[in-house]
Each structure stands twice: as structure tokens, then as C-alpha cells.
Amino acid sequence: MAAEGSIDNLAIVKIAKPVCQDEPIHPERVAEANLGFLKKKKHCDVSFAVGPKKKKIQCHKFFLMSRSPVFEAMFSGEWDSPIPLPDIEPATFEFFLEFVYGDVFTDSIPMAVQVLQLGVKYDVKPLVQKCEQLMSEDIQLKHAIETFTIARRYSLENLMDQAGHLLAWLVAVFIARL
């Protein structure tokens, strides 16, 4: 029999790791860490009221300022939170944040068109470039006018040239058939 106070009296207890929102976020890749803070809403210091229903979306000023000179200037002053964005759909703003935090992008042209507006508004040049690149890779004849209009609205010269050449070809074909 073991003496009192000896190691033989200790029971081995396995403790399960708790899963909670306060769990640290420390993956190996920076983008994953950044996205972890966004998804878990850890230490958020700004919120937006997005869309017509004013969905509250929380995030971090630092991440926004690190990718956008517009946010940097904006947050240098006093801003009341939540910041209203009534003309943006929540899914579009959430996708925008995923790009800002972790360079997450899409292969969906409709989403790229929607998020392009935010990229231009907040001067997130890498996002604007990715949107333009995706749209220029798949200019379809039936969407050439819309693509040209979008490119012109946001001053996307390369995309405007590509869509313009396609429209010029279309006009030439039409005239040749007259």
C-alpha cells in the first residue's frame, strides 16, 4: 500500500481542450491568423451597419487601415460606430473583409463586380487589380457592353480596351451583314 502523499495516490485525469471564442488564434500563416481574428470577432474595435437591414459587422481598424489609405484617413479622426453602409449587401462587405484580412478572392465574376465598388471606394488597389484581371479573362460577347460600362465607371483602362475591341468587332460584323 502506498504511503499518504506519495505519487501512487494520484489519479490520471484527461481534460478535454475547451472550445470557446476566447481560444487563442495562432496558425502558422499570417493570412490565416488575420482571418481567425475576423471570424472569431476577437478584439474588434469598429462595426458597420451594412445593407438595408443594417446588419452589424464587426472588424478591426488596424486591418482596414493597413490595406486602405481611405480607412487610414477615416480612422485618424473620430467616427461613430456603427458606420452605415446602406447600399452594400452584407455578403459583399464580408467578402471584402476576407480579402482585406487574408487576400481571399473569388472566381465569381458577379461577386468581383460587386466587390469592385468597395475596392475603388476604399482604394484597395490589389483588390481592384484582381477584379479587373478576373473580368478581363472572361469577357463574353453578350456582356461586352456591361463590362465596358463597368470598366469606364471605375477607370479600368485595360478592361475598357479589351471590352472596347470586342464591341468594335461586334459592330464591324453587324455592319458587314447589312
Q: Which domain holds residue 171?
A: 140-178
Query: Is 70 exceeded by the pLDDT of residue 23?
Result: no
Residue 92 CA, chain-centre distance (Å), reads: 8
Please indicate, yes or no, if residue 76 is contained in any of the structural domains: no
Average confidence (pLDDT) over 130-158: 88
| pLDDT score of 19 | 45
Please indicate, yes or no, if residue 165 is contained in any of the structural domains: yes
pLDDT in tens, 120-140: 999 999 999 999 999 988 787
pLDDT-based confidence at residue 16 (cuts at 50, 70, 90)? very low
Residues 97, 79: Cα–Cα separation, whole Å: 19
Please indicate, yes or no, if residue 162 is contained in any of the structural domains: yes
Please indicate, yes or no, if residue 107 is contained in any of the structural domains: no
Which residue is associated with the grid cell 485618424?
A: 76
Cβ atoms of 89 and 113 closer than 8 Å: no
Please indicate, yes or no, if residue 159 is contained in any of the structural domains: yes
Residue 15 grid cell: 481534460
Cis peptide preceding 82, ω within 30 of 0: yes
Please indicate, yes or no, if residue 144 is contained in any of the structural domains: yes
Average confidence (pLDDT) over 139-161: 87
Q: Which residue has the higher pLDDT, 69 or 178?
A: 69
pLDDT in tens, 51-94: 999 999 999 999 999 999 999 999 988 887 799 999 999 999 99
| pLDDT score of 141 | 77
* Mean pLDDT of the residues in the chain: 83
Beta-carbon count within 10 A of 138 CB: 10
Give the lowest-confidence range in 17-26, 42-51, 66-75, 99-108. Answer: 17-26
pLDDT-based confidence at residue 22 (cuts at 50, 70, 90)? low
Please indicate, yes or no, if residue 122 is contained in any of the structural domains: no
Query: Is 70 exceeded by the pLDDT of residue 13?
Result: no
Please indicate, yes or no, if residue 7 is contained in any of the structural domains: no
Domain count, the chain: 1
